[in-house]
Structure 1
Amino acid sequence: MKKNYGILSTASIVPRFVNALRSTGEGHVLAIASRSLDKARASAEQMGIERAYGSYQELVEDNDVNIIYVATINSEHYANCLLALEHGKHVICEKPFVLKKEQAETLFRIAREKQLFIMEAQKVVFLPVMAAIKQHLEAGKLGRVHLVDLTSSCEATYNNWLGSLDAGGGALYGNASYTLQMLTFLLGEMPVYRSGAAIKAESGADVQCVINLTVGNDILVVSKISTRVNAINKAFIYGEKGYVEISDYWKARSATIYYKNGDIEELNFPCEFELKYEVEHIHCCLDTGNITSPIMDEQMTVKTIGTLEEIHNSWK
């Protein structure tokens, strides 16, 4: 099928998505929209995009566009996805998909009724290094996993809206979906929230948080997220026979396995644009007529949003 993309937003992630899409050699970025026509035109010129619109409504009304990529601030995802679906467009929405479980369920229901593809853009589950780690775990090379320790950080200045509660900002909504969805992919089961703590700014948004989760009966997960410090961004997965170390795990190209007997194994998958793997998956789904991804499916997204909402509400 033809794949003409309309980019809804001029956010900082947009050039990365556009470059990744172009690197696959399939699909065409036809248009981009902002609430400011000047900003849309500037972005279109910078990225070589043919059409620029000064409203999201104009973008979804472009009959030549059949896929909308939503990259607005978190609080706007639901309304933007709904707008695209109502105009018959397939939808790719940046993580976190929405802020409420009920909203996620509604969007998937509408997409199903209209036979439109919809997916949360979650790159971590499509990275080749994650597939390799999953194979090692399932083969029992590390024995049974018992402990996972993750640390991530992102300066709020990277996206100023991260400091706004109304915008859906905060450390939890900024990064915790990586924790939940990566571990669901690797371990085959969604982590369950047990306890946590957050430090909040005057705006009410959490600037740092620690969440404690379990997977099954004997895997403990600790995930630390900060927008105040530059932490050592790594994930460690500890098994009975060794452990895996993954730097910058949400965009990892490599991982190192340290075995109990002293052996070390390197997993390396270099690439320029790590988002290309999720784009390739999206195109495969579209070509085969799937309206949901078999990996980033409705259950994965809805359960994740439900857990994030539960954690966020527990801090009020």
Structure 2
Amino acid sequence: MKPFQYLRPSKLKAAIEMVSGDPQARYIAGGTNLIDLMKRGIVAPEKLVDINHLPLKKIEYKTGVLRIGALALNSEVAAHETVLQKHPLLAQALDSGASGQLRNMATVGGNILQKTRCTYFYDTALPCNKREPESGCSALEGINRLHAIFGTETENPAKTCIAVHPSDMCVALAALDADVLLSGPGGERRIKIADLHRLPGANPELDTNLERGELITAVEIRDNAFARNSHYLKVRDRASYAFAIVSVAAALDIDNGQIRSARLAMGGVAHKPWRLIAAEKSLEGQPVTESSFRKAAEVAMVGARGFGQNDFKLKLAPNAIVQALLTAAGIE
């Protein structure tokens, strides 16, 4: 790890100026991902701007909107009374991520912006389009068991990336249609979580649509009717401290045995949290039955593509969708 300058501003404006004016500067909060990247030599910032002293830790509920500060710890959010009452799906997703120790350090903003855990991205001896654009994607012909089955198309094969986004929290936020609040050199703006992360396209090195120097300040979730019937299902290789092979955030608004509306999102299957809008629409007005859920899973899998070792996800993913919906609906 090379030497770096460490700064600790107490004002939001000062922090943004420090990073936006220096391409070699990075924000740091919990550091649970960034420090690993620095140790591996994947990133080597010359300046770290510690934002832990900024007033971005509050979790508050006002007029039908839950606002979670970007510096709120994952463990605090998961245990918060309002989250448990109004958005238990988010609490379930957070509790399934990482380990207790990491959840006590990781922040909401950092969770959103964490990098893929693709082994080829972390191995600097091998080509990786995300780490070094146009160097190639080692996963295509390599060990790709955990890699993407959605959103992998690109006009230029030399820029292909089939890595997946690792966050559990973001899958739940996608299903809950959360807003992400940003501050940057150009002022403040709001963006849907579904629009924040990118598919690889022509620039697999870019994970998000953030502008230079922009900082996540909060996440907002509006009231909805999904608290009673929601479930986060995570399929993984071991019961703790493992990233999802496939995960599903499922939420249903049920009235008299019929589905009024549904929310579905998946993790472990794409370069970003994967919202299943067509499958959601297919559930509207349908009876709460396994048959309805299986039809929705079929709709969800349109366009999915395996790369050899991850072909099993083409069967696992729809089965996981059905199971998550059954559990959310209270059907054993």
Q: Do they fold alike, i.e. is TM over 0.5?
A: no
Sort the TM-score into its range (normalised by shorter chain). under 0.3
Normalising by the residue count of structure 1, what TM-score does the alignment of the two structures yield? 0.27
Higher strand fraction: Structure 1 or Structure 2? 1
Normalising by the residue count of structure 2, what TM-score does the alignment of the two structures yield? 0.26
